[in-house]
Amino acid sequence: MEFIKSMDLMLMQLVVVPVACIGLGVLFAVLSKKVFVGPVTSLILALGFNYWYFTYAVPDIDLTFSMVLFWAILFPIISFFLSDLMIKHPNWLKSRSSYRHRERKI
């Protein structure tokens, strides 16, 4: 717990929380093969983690609705698009790389 409290708030909000929330949301969506699982998971994780982090790391600050709302909207949107891409088009990265490879040969 001290490790998390010692981390910079900017690093937590811009790197750790997005990667964890979006990544776990997409992972659960791919494992369940249902697109809607990704955004729901990301929403729950973002709200829960932000509430926990702000009440634990900075208990003196008043937690406003707008502090948590932005990430709670943005993470599920990103998670939805990535989940949709990974489930409905699982070979999109492979097809893009082979297209670039063919383009270089010409």
Asked whether residue 100 carries a pLDDT value surpassing 60, the answer given is no
What are the boundaries of each domain within the chain? 2-105
Asked whether residue 41 carries a pLDDT value surpassing 90, the answer given is yes
Q: Which residue has the tokens 């969506």?
A: 29
Nearest-Å Rg of the Cα atoms of the chain is 18
- Which pLDDT value is given to residue 85? 92
- Which pLDDT value is given to residue 36? 95
Please write down the long-range contacts of 5-9, taking CB distance under 8 Å and 24 or more positions apart: 5/56, 5/57, 9/57, 9/58
Q: What's this model's pTM, rounded to 2 decimal places?
A: 0.76
Contact criterion met (CB below 8 Å) for 46 and 75: yes
Asked whether residue 106 carries a pLDDT value surpassing 60, the answer given is no
Query: CA 62 from chain center: how many Å?
Result: 25
Contact criterion met (CB below 8 Å) for 79 and 29: yes
Asked whether residue 37 carries a pLDDT value surpassing 80, the answer given is yes
